[in-house]
Amino acid sequence: MKIFSLALSLILINSISGFSQDTLPRFSVENIGNKRIVVSWINQHPTVKQINVQRSFDSTKNYTTILNVADPSTLENGYADATAPKTNMFYRLFVVLDKGKFYFTEAKRPIIDSSRKPDLSKIATKKLVDSLNQPSVYNGQSSKPVTFIPSLYVFTLRDGFLHVRLPEAPAKKYSLKFYDDDENFLFELKDLKQSKMTLEKSNFFHAGWFRFELFENNVLLEKHKFYLSRDF
């Protein structure tokens, strides 16, 4: 696997709204369809240093951290997992409190609640990428969307790299343009022919949100964003 020396990292995160949530150490895991699993919770701990979302094929061992939450102190929080190899895997949270105290939650598998469907209009999917730039309305007041679902093509993971997945790349002409969150152009990758690529951290000078445009055969395929976390 080729690694580009272009900076990027970690973590796709934001608050999850519209799903059932439980107060830590309880949490919710729901299958919302289209191979997407939403892990969500309410934090009432006065001090939280770290929250990791972990996933495993087994309920008691071999867990992998798939997310280190950018702001663990957020009251209502969660993660939309769109990269799980199966939709019935086990999930748990690793929570670090003040003075070195920590705990693991119980393990849970996703459930499908047929009595209450999530409001998919608030979910930023490939077909609704414009919603990233549009205000949402909650209780009659305008605010930014609080649900983030990562791109299936360009996304960050716990390993500290930005991952790129390009279907049928050798037979197609892909290119990627990257911008900061104020839409200032940063750099472009042209004529991408590999189906899987990894971009390592080196050229981004701050943490936060970054945007990208993915083109297939010179036609815009997706316009989305990802979160770059600070190093620990």
> Cα–Cα distances in Å, from 179 out to 61, 176, 225?
39, 10, 9
Q: What is the mean pLDDT of residues 210-221?
A: 92
HSE of 128, CA atoms in CB hemisphere, 13 A: 14
Residue 203 pLDDT: 56
HSE of 22, CA atoms in CB hemisphere, 13 A: 13
Confidence of residue 200 (pLDDT cuts 50, 70, 90): low
Determine contact, residues 67/158, Cβ cutoff 8 Å: yes
Q: Which domains are delineated in the chain?
A: 3-12+151-228 (2.60.40), 28-104 (2.60.40)
Residue 29 pLDDT: 93
Q: Which amino acid is at 60?
A: T
What is the Cα–Cα distance from 58 to 73, expressed in whole angstroms? 28
Q: Is the pLDDT of residue 145 over 70?
A: no
Q: Is the pLDDT of residue 232 over 70?
A: no
What is the Cα–Cα distance from 119 to 19, expressed in whole angstroms? 8
Highest mean pLDDT among 12-26, 153-167, 185-199 belongs to 185-199
Confidence of residue 201 (pLDDT cuts 50, 70, 90): low
Residue 159 pLDDT: 65
**219 sits in which H/E element:** strand 219-228
Least confident of 78-87, 106-115, 155-164, 192-201: 155-164
Residue 220 pLDDT: 93
Nearest to 81 by CA among 112, 20, 26, 39: 39
Query: Residue 232 has which token pair?
Result: 């620990």
What is the Cα–Cα distance from 44 to 40, expressed in whole angstroms? 13
Query: Residue 118 has which token pair?
Result: 């999530």
